[in-house]
Amino acid sequence: MGWGARMLAVLAGLIALGLGAWPIFLLALVYLVYSFRKPRAQRAVMLKQQVLARPRRPWGRYTAGGVLFLLALAAVEAGGTLSPIAFFTGGLAVVFWPLARRHGVGGGVVPMTDSILLRSRLFPLRWHALAEVKLEAQDQTRGVAALDGRLLVFAGRSPSAFQVVSVYALGYRGAEEKVLRTLRCKARMLSQRGAHLLPLDSRDAGKRLSLTLDRLDIGTEDLEAVSSLPFDVFAVRTKEGLVVSHRAFRLSEPAGTPSIPPSDLTPARQPLFAEVVEKIQERHGWPGPDAFSPFLAALDASRTEPFSDRVMARGEAEGKVSVETPGGAEVKLTRAQLRAVARIYA
């Protein structure tokens, strides 16, 4: 019983006390007192669960939803008009949110103009960005295995891997600052492993995410199937080197609206992400170095120098700026990408 459920119990008890709903207040009080009990048997069970790496059961979510449903009933008894609807809707959202995510609800995004940011279609305060992983050598996949968070792996003729960065912010400026700060930290960590991050322009990210996907049936413990099934997109969420959740997809026609594929399948035993990366490489290969690899490597190696001394503009065509490093690595970037790269590799 976490602190989130306890805070909801306190809130529900106070609201019930204000409405005169004594039974609900007493129920919240009993739950709050019971939540602090830590018998030895419970500690033994918790230790066993940590050893076996079992997924957490959603009792906290069910408890929070139940409290909201009870508050809706109390509001009806008190003669409320909008409060019953608000509490009941909140209870439905808390209880059935994982099921909604399973069907792609909340994953839709809207590309921002002249930016690397994607705004959530359903939640305006949720912002996303995609950054492609660029390797300095074909065999340096340990850089990909070191990534934490949400990742998308695209198979096919040109395999590619993308880091998904998601933040909450009230406005565009705050979201951009948080995204760039996160990408800067990840880029520093990856550079020690022969990999770099290239932020995608929002238009290119929107095109990349405009997919119609069919889920592949993979058992919760059968991550080895990833290396054998002909998947097109593999969404995975990692934490501290372990796979927390995943989902494999096949592409279908026609193309859909921009949406970030969910990783909603939780493994019963969390495998090492490095092992999953090796299996994907065996089956589908991994993106080798391209023109961006030496360009980003040169920027990372000269972080202490002014950006104007590290990058020289060679012209602009079709909305992209041709830039070159003193070492001769030349690439084409949109102005949004160029601004982001200057902040990430500063």
What are 65's two structure tokens? 């939803």
pLDDT at residue 314 in the model: 83
Among residues 77, 102, 127, which one ends one of the domains?
102
Give the pLDDT of residue 175: 95
Residue with tokens 């998601």: 166
Q: How far apart are CA 201 and CA 199, in angstroms?
A: 7
Q: What's the rounded Cα separation, in Å, for the pair 169 and 258?
A: 20
The verdict on 336 and 208 lying in the same domain is no
Range ranked top by mean pLDDT from 43-47, 157-161, 243-247? 243-247
Q: Residue range 32-56: average pLDDT? A: 50
178 has a pLDDT exceeding 90: yes
Question: Are 237 and 264 contacting, i.e. CB atoms less than 8 angstroms apart?
Answer: no
Parent domain of 47? 3-102
pLDDT at 306: 85
Are residue 94 and residue 172 in the same domain, yes or no?
A: no
Task: Compute the mean pLDDT over every residue in the chain, rounded to the nearest whole number.
Answer: 78
Q: Domain end: 284, 300, 327, which one?
A: 284
Eight-class DSSP state of 37: -
Residue 53: half-sphere exposure toward Cβ, Cα within 13 Å = 14
Angle between helices 292-301 and 172-191 (to 10 degrees): 90
* pTM, 2 dp: 0.71
Mark whether 21 and 123 lie in a shared domain.
no
Strand pairing category for 160-168 and 212-215? unpaired
